[in-house]
Amino acid sequence: AEEAHAKAEAEAKANAEAEKELNAAQQKTTDSQDLDKVDHALRETLHEDKKEANRIAKALTVSSLKKVIREHGGHPLKTKSRKSEFVKAALNAVSDSSDSWDEVSQVLSEVLQSQSNQGRGFKPPSSSSNGKGSRHHR
């Protein structure tokens, strides 16, 4: 139990750090050059340290998500669970393959669309196995 507690504490600390970095990153413009840099950093890190990769991915996805959301005319992510869903989607896209940032942002766009179009007959990506996608059968 102590180990789990220490783990949770370390994670909370890492999240706070990521939040700080994220806020700093949002002050700067998120042009494709920045994304390339982060994408490269994320790739390097995935090989060395999963925790670090998660931290980078969190900062990467939440800021880029805001961009994707704007492009889709959606709303900023307000809840933690939605944020983590996106983070997972992005992490999977990057770690499962040698795909480019385009691939990651496409996954994020798909997840976004499935969330913003729920209840309008849109079929979410099959990767979401949490059952939430069946809402539109009502």
Q: Per-residue pLDDT tens for 28-39?
A: 544 555 666 666
CA-based torsion, 46, 49, 55, 59: positive or negative = negative
* Confidence band for 5, pLDDT divided at 50, 70 and 90: confident
CB 114 within 8 A of CB 125: yes
| 54-96 pLDDT, tens digit each | 666 666 666 665 665 555 544 445 555 565 665 566 555 555 5
Q: What is the pLDDT of residues 83-92, one digit of tens each?
A: 566 556 655 5
- For residue 91, give every residue at least 6 positions away whose Cβ sits within 8 Å of its Cβ, in sequence order, or none: 53, 54, 57, 61
Euclidean distance between CA atoms 39 and 121, whole angstroms: 33
